[in-house]
Structure 1
Amino acid sequence: MLGIESSCDETGVAILRWQPEAPGRGLLAHALYSQVKLHADYGGVVPELASRDHVRKLLPLVREALAEAGLQPADLGGVAYTAGPGLVGALLVGAAAGRALAWALGVPAIGVHHMEGHLLAPLLEDDPPEPPFVALLVSGGHSLLVEVKAIGEYRILGDTLDDAAGEAFDKTAKLMGLPYPGGPALAKLAEQGRPGVFRFSRPMTDRPGLDFSFSGLKTQVLLAWQHSDKSEQTRADIARGFEEAIVDTLLIKCRRALQATDTHRLVIAGGVGANRRLRAELAAAGEKDGFRTYFPRLAFCTDNGAMIALAGAIRLAGGQHQGEAVEVRPRWNLEDLPAA
């Protein structure tokens, strides 16, 4: 199975030999190209530039992955590509290439939901979670809590009302003058911050519900920064306070979701899932409260082709595949997916 990811600013390709009993051990190759340097001058992703760069990088990465796996194109048994959600131009690059390659080889193709790919990424590890579980999907564009009854049977428990967690990280870093990409830079700076110097609110935790809203937290940080002495230590202290607020909010909501579903397994995936403080706090909470946490390895937290290959392999094994039309869905509700 060839997996292609091109939903935003990273081009990911992977080759997976489908093994239902141990999917992670079937990963033969994966290659990733990040467009961070391309977009750094603009302080964010420029969709047209992202699409053009996918065109330049995708086929060389496919050749690289095939060479790493020691395979020829004719050895492929299927092609999976990200069909949404994401930037429409970027999605079309991966979908067109993936569908054309599948047609030329005479193998089935499947369009994969980007967030389902993230949700299933922990299955690439040696000790994968088994449904039912709750998944926290946190990235630059999404903050979702999902009840997973079975693969393909999803119920959204909580969603983003405005800024997603990763988006709040990036925007807060930018207003504090940190380099792009802001999220990792802010998290690194927070390691130098002193605990308790700045305490910001934990948004929407003082009321029932599992939805997220981080735009107000971003405003609190802006006001604190504007009225500070703007020293490097103060910058680090504010970053620490902001990161703690995000992590505490996610932790509170995860605990509520596990209680509401009477579930004892928690999957954390998406780019923010690589945050060290979040991983440590959720793991510690799991030991205290009696639930188990599952994380993908750091390389598979951000967008990658391996998660797309895995999700595609599962759905192709269940008899699902695409027609010959190249179709993408920039907006796509996870609950609309059919059972796998």
Structure 2
Amino acid sequence: MSAVDDSRTLGRTRLSFASEADIDEFVETLEKFERGELTPDQWRAFRLVRGTYGQRQTGDVQMLRIKIPQGILTTRQLEALAEVGEQYSRGFGHITTRQNVQFHFVKLHDVEPAMRQLAEAGLTTREACGNSVRNITACQYAGVAADEVFDVTPYADAMTRYLLRHRLSSSLPRKFKIAFEGCADDHAIVGMHDLGFRAVEHVNGSARELGFRVVVGGGTSIMCKSAVVLYDFLPANDILNVAEAIIRVFHKYGDYKHKQRNRMKFMMKDMGWERWRDEFGQALTTVMAEGGADLPFDANDPPVEHAPDWEPASGPSVLETVARATGSKVKGPGITPQ
């Protein structure tokens, strides 16, 4: 790949989330399925955590979901998405509520070249679907809002890199969603997530400690529930260990049999708050005894992205934008954007 993964690289200058080994494994596993060495259920479980859904329409049609961590894209990544949409999908894509991009009506054997094209730009489909830690979202105003406590982007990025390809991240009872918010208004809606982080600061004289109000167990759909407070203030450097402990409890005690009621909120209801809190505490103690995990930067002095000092280039006019959009070729079945 042209982009090199580096966990120390944060923000909009960060590099690759992709792995060629993931794509090689996808190809090898698909070949095993086509030789009859894997059952349809085994293949389905694998392809889902590689971001590939089988569509309900008849024929060879897949939906490919690409993670856009914190909704941040480079120019090259936008170009790669456009190229994949034109070459392998219908000429356009869909932006999801979890800051992903999806392409429909992709042929199964086009998934590999699409993945490789995206990987060249540093994008991955790994754990974008299935029973996994899904794309970690953040406030769309992070880093530019006048009223934010601090920019949550470096912390969300570090969490993304820590959990991507984590040994438990793709073997959970059900999907697991995480969000970060730094503004006064909760644009990320952390309360509807399995795990939410809201920026908080403690100031003592000239000393400033950064941290998060942590909420757990939220969700929509069946049994709508707002997440409850686990910590009013968690020092920022502890977020990876707390997330690890919560995921370990979900992995150990979650319901693997009943798809309609196996989100973490159901497990917490069945266990009761006190027991869940005890199990979490024990798991956190174990995580810390194993050495724990620190952020790849000073938690109280995170990387800051400064506004560029050059004159921005003028964008295309409204008429030119409309001409480009309407001039693109849309193909295949399904709804056509107007």
Alignment TM-score, normalising by the size of structure 2: 0.30
Larger radius of gyration: 2
| Larger helix fraction of residues | 1
Alignment TM-score, normalising by the size of structure 1: 0.30
| Highest RCO, 1 vs 2 (Cα 8 Å, sep ≥ 6) | 1
